[in-house]
Copies of this chain bind each other. A is one copy, B any other.
Amino acid sequence: MSKFLNNYWYVAANSEELKDRPIARIILGNPIVLFRGKSGKIGALDDRCAHRLTPLSLGRIDGDQLECGYHGWTYDCAGKCVRLPGLETPQKITVKSFPLVEKWGWVFIWMGDPDKADNNTLPDFHVMGEDKWVGDGGMLRVEAHCDLIRDNLLDLTHAKYTHKQTLATEDVDRVPVTAERVGDLVRVKRVMKNIQPSPFFARAVGYTQNIIHRQTTEFTPGCNIVIRLRGNSSPGTSENLKNGFRVLNAMTPETGTSTHYFWWLGRDYNQENTSLTQWMKDANARTFLEDKTVLEGQQRNITSQPTQQPVPSPADKGLTLAAKLTEELLQGEAE
């Protein structure tokens, strides 16, 4: 059985990465070249020229086409060879191309069966496209299987231990979660009342007293997590909370032990405060580096002792559901 779900959209790049040069990226184990033509059109091809297998990412963009940097064979965004120096009429030569959709500042790629690629099945990251939500993001390469990042995000009690400097909330592991599966979605919820805000939220909102804080985490396959956070100075109920955050997490497998982790962090208040946006982005990037250390250590141990089974905790409800869902879908793809 494959290590990854194939028939899903994965984030291949931030839109702003595709400028005047092609970029090389390994996605689901395949070396891919991504490029944007002069007209804005984008392409994703096998990163191997048909001629002598040289990486096309070493070449240059020529109009809307990609010219190999070895002998000048030139391909369009669909992978068709449109120029072959020394031949008037190129034969029918192609390199494999991959469907792309550019939306919300991200470029999504479809690595599976191209007949199944449907532009309407993108992960739901629509808040990045709404004026109401303001934020910024980044990409972090993590030397761990994407499922380990999924599990990290589905059990936020780790904030107390892994993120002592940033996200730690003393009460996070005292409040149990609820978890449910709805079709191909797994949802985990936790409402914490009258808690001390974490350093991050205290500064991001300006809290000076205890708060009520609601976390909703939703997993959808391939490997995407949307976290919705909302809080108020307490006391209060969990309805009509004011300050909202969204953390979007798109995990794109590189190999069986590494992931390109794309993320975006937004808020729905103080939208005009650009220095707050910058601070939130920087703080989140530091937080994810703390996760990276833990995840890569975990992967090393799994790699060296692949048969040792984890012991579940009460907070693992959500990730147990997500692992089961992913397993089912992998079996479905294998059949």
Contact = CB atoms under 8 A, between A and B. Distances in A.
Q: How many copies does the complex hold?
A: 3
A209 interface: no
Interface in A31-47: 31, 47
A320 to B, nearest CB: 12
Interface stretch (A15-23, A103-111, A243-251, A293-301): A293-301
Interface stretch (A79-87, A191-199, A265-273): A79-87
Nearest to A172: B85
The contact size tier of chain A is 35 or more
Contacts of A86: 157, 173-174, 176, 313-315
Contact of A53 (B69, B73, B302): B302
Given A72-B160, A158-B71, A298 B173 contact: no
A188 B301 CA distance: 42
Contacts of A58: 293-294, 297
Given A160-B72, A161-B67, A176-B86, A53 B298 contact: yes
Contact of A297 (B55, B93, B313): B55
4 closest A-B pairs by beta carbon, nearest first, are: A85-B173, A55-B297, A86-B314, A72-B161
9 contacts: A51-B313, A52-B151, A53-B302, A58-B294, A71-B315, A72-B161, A85-B157, A86-B157, A86-B315
